[in-house]
Amino acid sequence: MRIAYFVNQYPKVSHTFIRREIQALEALGLSVERIALRSPVEELVDPQDLVELGRTRLLLDAPMREFLWAMLTALPRWPAAWRLMARLAWRNRIPVAKLGIAFAEACLLKAWLQHGAVSHVHVHFGTNSALVMLLCRSLGGPGYSMTVHGPEEFDAPHALALTEKAKSARFVVAISSFGRSQLMRWLDPADWPKVQVVHCGLDSTYWARAKVPVPAGEPAQLVCVGRLSPEKGQILLLQALRKALDQGADLRVVLAGDGPMRPQLESDIRALNLADHVCITGWIGNTEVQDLLLASRALVSASFAEGLPVVMMEALALRRPVLGTCVAGIPELVEPGRSGWLVPAGDVEALAQAMLAVARMPVPELDAWGEHGFARARQQHAAETEAAKLAQLLKACVPPLERSTETLP
């Protein structure tokens, strides 16, 4: 069975879970073609991402003549696509210019899929890539499924035409039970059975590596991994750190990542006199992230909106407790008092008190929490197990006639 993965940006620093999922599907015997609209090449530092870049076709790197030829070839199916675009422009207020660009991309995507004898496309994220795939389907392209992560899709379901995309899909994947419930809000109850939960997964290297005890030295280090952006709450994390330090904690926080909020965060670090207690790494690869997690007492997140952060699975798999906020799917993974701490999003005082608790908890107790978190992460987020669930959905959704007519290019 030959399928394609279609993503808005791939490979990308924060999308290692997609790479793991593809590799796990290939290990199960599926042939997977990688296609993305673009890739943030300037951010890529992980050698595995650079290898994956070489295996990925980037739609927007294609020459204009290829787009024009693909549009001309798709001419007989234009009326169906234009009717769909008219509905999306009228009902969902999607800008006509955006639809026009997506239409051109859909024509070329259809040509690539047809040439590659792809019988099904799996889309990650219900945003731009799903819009292009929806139009591609109206042009006669293959059927598709999509994984919806949140929070972006749940913040603007109407503007993203989430209902239309999900209704047209053969099935829809949610990465948590919370995510499934949010999708169900926007679907007809008759379509609820097509929404299935498949968790993002970690590969076997996480479960096989030797245990590294929690570091006992001071200052107690916490690491926050993620894009430096408003919804991640790093501004409040700095405020909470200041409060914890003022109450006698000996703490250091590493912000692993980069993004548009970096100038603001650097200014706040100076204003709060935190220069000796905070480090910003910039973009780093997955190996460096793992090293930072192992050198820290816990992972900390002050996020306001999430899907279910893969880095939390990684932290627990490395036997490090997690301090997170009570949003989205996080409570399905992190168990307060057993593998970490959960605080209300936006509550600086609660965050500060939890950081104090991390700094003061005896190392043997942190180790015990880490062991429990490891077992829970392995149970819920093994890539091989989750990929097997997805493979079953993929094989079940493609009609036998379409599979029987596949030919390799």
**Cα angle: 22, vertex 24, 26; to 5 degrees:** 70
- What is the pLDDT at residue 405? 44
Average pLDDT on 212-233 reads 93
The answer to whether 17 and 200 are in contact (CB under 8 A) is yes
Q: How far apart are CA 396 and CA 105, in angstroms?
A: 28
Domains of the chain as residue ranges with CATH: 2-201+383-404 (3.40.50.2000), 210-380 (3.40.50.2000)
User: Quick one: pLDDT band at residue 285, thresholds 50, 70, 90?
Assistant: confident
Task: With 0.75 as the threshold, say if the pTM is over it.
Answer: yes
Tell me the torsion sign for CA atoms 39, 40, 41, 45.
Answer: negative
Reading phi first (left if > 0) and then psi (alpha if -120 to 50, else beta), residue 218 is in beta
- What is the pLDDT at residue 181? 97
User: Quick one: pLDDT band at residue 401, thresholds 50, 70, 90?
Assistant: low
Q: How far apart are CA 208 and CA 206, in angstroms?
A: 6
Q: How far apart are CA 124 and CA 149, in angstroms?
A: 8
* Bond prior to 11 in cis (omega within 30° of 0): yes
Q: What pLDDT digit, counting tens, does each position of 100-145 carry?
A: 999 999 999 999 999 999 999 999 999 999 999 999 999 999 999 9
User: Quick one: pLDDT band at residue 407, thresholds 50, 70, 90?
Assistant: very low
Model confidence at 299: pLDDT above 70: yes
